[in-house]
């Protein structure tokens, strides 16, 4: 038997059959090895996902109501010391439009996001980190955060 | 002795750099995809110009998180030479390897022209063949090249002799006419002008060769 197996191991198909049969003896009989592994993997992924993200509705999980959801609005503005040429151009255009009396016009950006977090302090911590490390460049920009629970 | 040229999605000067280093100067060069982490065998790395990740959010803000840049930080800390050109300069400031930031040009125009530059520091290896106040012209092509930093940072740049190049006629409103700076150690250079566009005689000038030759000198 061993001599036959090693002689057939030269072709990929023969090698696969040998491995399958050898594995069959250790696990459930007549169940294809790959299918067995696949099912177990999928099962593990699903159970892990439910444990970690109880709020995902696609798993139809009754605990989804428990995770508070927050709405955040981050306003990113150029620091006062940094020239805002786009703001100056918009200010000049306002005058051409006939809107008088504009004393100050600076252009920034607003980032709106929703997130799930266990409490407001944690939500604030996450959005502050995001604002400081990604949404704004502290060298040239300031940011302010408005946070509310939905 | 090999140069790596990082290719981000949206880079558009990567081939120009390779043509300049390999085609014009005969320096061995290979591309580094932005997801590569392996910088082994490289003696210098170039971050080329372009619009990495579409310049979304801010120029260089998304590129900063590219896997290749994790490795690049260690590469630079170990003294490897890093050259950031235009968008590459913007990435280096977002990454924190160079101080300051690049902002919208004062007059809001995208500028594409050849501009005269003066050497401020001849200390760095990048301009070893030049003397202080030497002048030459290089092409610039940017909409967000106005170098901006705090007074404290400017003073530190001056104290460290880290201002490499300044504009003779400031085209974009940069603080102190700054066109290019190095880190305090001198192994990382970022500049808005494009030396790779002034290496092949058919482009009209070869004044960018000295900076690219310094990659492997």
* DSSP of B25-50: T---EEEEETT----TT-SEEEE--B
Q: Which residues of B fall below an 8 Å CB-CB distance to A?
A: 57-58, 61, 93-94, 99-101, 103-108, 146, 148-150, 173
CATH of the domain at B52: 3.40.50.880
8-state DSSP, B125? G
Residue B122 is predicted with a pLDDT of 76
A141-149/A69-78 β-pairing: antiparallel
Please name the member of B94, B103, B107 whose beta carbon is closest to the beta carbon of A82: B103
Residue B86: active-site member:
yes
Comparing alpha-carbon positions, the chain B residue that sits nearest to A87 is B108
Mean per-residue pLDDT of chain B: 96
Helix (H) or strand (E) holding A93: helix A85-97
Averaged pLDDT for residues B143-151: 97
Q: Which of B106, B183, B91 is nearest to B143 (CA)?
A: B106
Please name the member of A81, A86, A134 whose beta carbon is closest to the beta carbon of B104: A86
Residue B107: active-site member:
no
Comparing alpha-carbon positions, the chain B residue that sits nearest to A109 is B57
Give the count of domains, chain A: 2
CB B119 within 8 A of CB B210: no
Do residues A52 and A104 share a domain? no
Do residues A24 and A94 share a domain? no
Residue A82 corresponds to which tokens in the numbers above?
């940094």
Query: pLDDT grade, residue A24 (50/70/90)?
Result: very low
Share of chain B above pLDDT 90, in %: 94
Residue B34: active-site member:
no
CB A142 within 8 A of CB A135: no
Domain of A125, in residue numbers: 68-149
Query: Is 50 exceeded by the pLDDT of residue A135?
Result: yes
Do residues A13 and A75 share a domain? no
Give me the residues of A, 9-68, that contact B with CB < 8 A: none
Do residues A25 and A54 share a domain? yes
> Which residues from chain B sit within 8 angstroms of residue A137, using beta carbons?
58, 61, 94, 101
CB B115 within 8 A of CB B166: no
Q: Which residue has the higher pLDDT, A127 or A21?
A: A127
Residue B124 is predicted with a pLDDT of 78
Residue A56 corresponds to which tokens in the numbers above?
């995902």
Residue A149 corresponds to which tokens in the numbers above?
């629970």
Residue B89 is predicted with a pLDDT of 98
Residue B5 corresponds to which tokens in the numbers above?
């040229």
Query: pLDDT grade, residue A66 (50/70/90)?
Result: confident
> How far is the CA of B3 from the CAs of B26, B52, B83, B138, in angstroms?
11, 20, 10, 22
Residue B125 is predicted with a pLDDT of 85
Averaged pLDDT for residues B142-154: 97
Q: Which of A107, A104, A109 is nearest to A75 (CA)?
A: A109
Give residues with Cβ within 8 angstroms of B83, minimum separation 6.
Answer: B44, B45, B46, B47, B126, B188, B189, B190, B211, B212, B215
Mean per-residue pLDDT of chain A: 72
Share of chain B above pLDDT 70, in %: 100
Averaged pLDDT for residues A33-40: 36
CB of A135 within 8 Å of a chain B CB? The answer is: yes
CATH of the domain at A87: 3.30.1280.10
Do residues A39 and A104 share a domain? no
User: pLDDT tens for residues B159-180?
Assistant: 999 999 999 999 999 999 999 9
Pairwise CA distance, residues A93 & B1, whole Å: 55
- What interface predicted TM-score (ipTM) does this complex get? 0.84
Averaged pLDDT for residues B83-112: 97
Domain of B67, in residue numbers: 3-216
Query: Is 70 exceeded by the pLDDT of residue A131?
Result: yes
Binary contact (A139, B57; C-beta < 8 A): no
Do residues A39 and A101 share a domain? no
Please name the member of A89, A135, A140 whose beta carbon is closest to the beta carbon of B108: A89
Q: Which of B57, B82, B56, B79 is nearest to B68 (CA)?
A: B82
Give the count of domains, chain B: 1
């Amino acid at each position: 038997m061993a001599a036959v197996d090693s002689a057939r191991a030269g072709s990929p198909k023969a090698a696969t059959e040998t491995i399958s049969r050898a594995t069959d003896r250790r696990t459930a009989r007549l169940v294809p090895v790959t299918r067995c592994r696949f099912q177990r993997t999928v099962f593990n992924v699903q159970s892990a996902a439910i444990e970690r993200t109880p709020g995902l509705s696609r798993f139809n999980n009754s605990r989804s109501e428990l995770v508070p959801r927050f709405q955040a609005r981050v306003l990113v503005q150029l620091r006062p010391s940094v020239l805002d040429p786009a703001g100056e151009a918009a200010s000049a255009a306002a005058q051409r439009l006939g809107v008088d009396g504009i004393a100050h016009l600076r252009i920034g950006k607003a980032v709106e996001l929703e997130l799930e977090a266990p409490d407001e302090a944690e939500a604030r911590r996450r959005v502050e980190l995001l604002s400081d490390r990604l949404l704004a460049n502290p060298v040239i920009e300031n940011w302010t955060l408005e946070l509310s629970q939905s | 002795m090999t140069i790596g040229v990082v290719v981000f999605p949206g880079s558009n000067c990567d081939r120009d750099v390779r043509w300049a280093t390999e085609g014009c100067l005969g320096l061995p060069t290979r591309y580094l995809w932005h997801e590569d982490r392996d910088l082994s065998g490289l003696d210098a790395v170039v971050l080329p110009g372009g619009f990495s990740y579409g310049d979304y959010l801010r120029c260089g803000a998304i590129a900063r998180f590219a896997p290749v840049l994790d490795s690049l930080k260690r590469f630079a800390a170990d003294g490897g030479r890093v050259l950031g050109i235009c968008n590459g300069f913007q990435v280096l400031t977002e990454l924190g390897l160079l101080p300051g930031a690049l902002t919208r040009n004062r007059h809001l125009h995208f500028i594409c022209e050849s501009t005269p530059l003066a050497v401020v520091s001849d200390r760095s290896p990048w301009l070893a063949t030049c003397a202080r106040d030497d002048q030459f012209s290089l092409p610039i092509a940017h909409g967000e090249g106005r170098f901006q930093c705090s007074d404290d940072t400017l003073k530190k740049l001056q104290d460290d002799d880290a201002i490499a190049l300044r504009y003779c006629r400031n085209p974009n409103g940069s603080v102190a006419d700054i066109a290019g700076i190095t880190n305090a150690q001198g192994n990382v250079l970022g500049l808005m002008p494009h030396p790779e566009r002034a290496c092949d005689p058919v482009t009209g000038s070869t004044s960018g060769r000295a900076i690219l030759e310094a990659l492997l000198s």
